[in-house]
Amino acid sequence: QVQLVESGGGLVQAGGSLRLSCAASGRTFSNYGMGWFRQAPGKERAVVAAISSGGSTYYAASVKGRFTISRDNAKNTMYLKMNSLNPEDTAVYYCAVRSTGWASRPFMPTEYDYWGRGTQVTVSS
């Protein structure tokens, strides 16, 4: 019902910045709660940031102050601006949505109904 496509990943030097985008289709974007997760090889998938239908945000402690999540409902697109990147940020980044505006536990992958295929972010030393 919902399709998600991430873009904007790539290779960046430590201290640099990237902006990820997640384009959604299939349902009314404005009513979705959305989030970004990341997963490195051999590690569990972990939340990066989340945003409710009303614009409330949640950030993992490791990225708070460096990353900014936002959404443009008119474009059916969510963004993740990543500043001051370091090698521990290297991972595949996934866009996720749920069919309601917010999750009781936005940090839990099981709260989300749809996932994109991921985009690779690599930060060099």
Of residues 55, 62, 2, the one with CA closest to residue 38: 62
Q: Is the pLDDT of residue 108 over 90?
A: yes
Angstrom distance (rounded) from CA 102 to CA 118? 22
pLDDT tens figures, 79-92: 999 999 999 999 99
| Residue-wise pLDDT tens digits, 11-61 | 999 999 999 999 998 766 778 899 999 999 999 999 999 999 889 999 999
- Interatomic CA distance for residues 49 and 71, integer angstroms: 12
Whole-angstrom Cα distance, residue 125 to residue 114?
33
- Give the model's pLDDT for residue 31: 83
User: Using the 8-state DSSP alphabet, how is residue 42 labeled?
Assistant: T
Looking at residue 1, its pLDDT comes to 79
